[in-house]
Amino acid sequence: MQLSRKILAAALTLTVLTGCSPSEPAPGAPPASSGPAAEVGPGGSCVDAYATSDDLSVTFGEISAASDEWSESLDRTWRHYYPVTITNTSSAPCSFDIELAADVAGGETLYEDIYVALEPGQTYRAQAFDLESGVDFTADAADATPAAAITPSVGEIRQRRFMVDYYDAEVTVGETIGKGADAKLPAEITVNGRTPGLPDRVSSAKDDAVQLNGLDAEGMIIVIGVDAIEPIAEGETASVEFLVAGGDASRGLRRHTPLSALDDVVSWEIGKFQPFFTDGEKVFL
């Protein structure tokens, strides 16, 4: 499957909204409250700073369970987690570093960091926390319940600009190689050129950051592959293998979607592709 990108120039500001989905609560889950609908806002500058503004919507679902390569990496048949929906509600593209917390009543607080680059109105659906690492569940089973109430929340958020179409590039994605924790997603990335007028890389920035987005039928991002790669010369093609196993199964490189999410991907796109550092700003995976 081959895709190319069109040029888009914009800037961004950030705001965070939190809530829980109105679906029926799982046994033992904290009470649900309805989160606000995500709407595209006026946007802003997306400055290199910590931020809590009005341009990012983060919504938690109810505690859910899965049995997969992720749970196997935890030496469990089943794992429990919070579904998280993250939407860039601003009018500009931005990379977000989002700290999530899950506070266990009478116990510890679990933390999860999610890094994602999103264009305006774009949504990423992820899975957060290995809840068994912070609280006992009644059994290693899908319908097990936690021994204490758990309250999810959004903590510190950082934001960075990213440049849509820094490169004029195309991607062809192949079939998954390997199984379980060894699974990789092969891709061929071709660089046709570089968009004029964007900042040059700094000489010390040897690598490019690339984020590959897998989209479902509704255009939601349900799989992300990230990597640091050597710059690809104009007119050349490079092979990249993205680690895609869920949780810490991918050699400790944490992913927030399991392999099963690949079954619902209908198209692929390059979400971000640019140097780690440029004369104009900093970027991160």
Phi–psi pair at 73, nearest 5 degrees: -65, -20
CATH of 167-275, one of 1.20.1260, 2.60.40, 1.10.1060, 1.20.1740: 2.60.40
0.85 exceeded by the pTM?
Answer: no
Which sequence spans correspond to the domains of the chain?
Answer: 2-161, 167-275
**Tens of each residue's pLDDT in the chain, 285 residues:** 434 332 222 222 233 333 333 333 333 332 323 333 333 334 445 655 655 456 788 999 999 999 999 999 999 999 999 999 999 887 778 888 999 999 999 999 999 999 999 998 899 999 999 999 999 999 999 999 999 999 999 988 888 878 888 999 999 999 999 988 889 999 999 999 999 988 888 888 889 999 999 999 999 999 999 999 999 999 999 999 999 999 987 666 789 999 999 999 999 999 999 998 888 754 444
Using only C-alpha atoms, the chain has a radius of gyration, in whole angstroms, of 19
Give CA angle at 255 (236, 39), nearest 5°. 90
Contact at 8 Å (CB) between 169 and 271?
no
The helix/strand/coil state of 133 is helix
**Mean pLDDT score across all residues of the chain:** 81
Over residues 138-170, the pLDDT tens digits come to 999 999 999 999 999 998 888 887 888 899 999
- β-strands 56-60, 16-20 pairing: parallel
Residue 71: other Cβ atoms inside 10 A? 23
Q: Where are the beta strands (DSSP E) in 195-266?
A: 208-215, 221-229, 237-243
**DSSP secondary structure code for residue 120 in this structure:** T
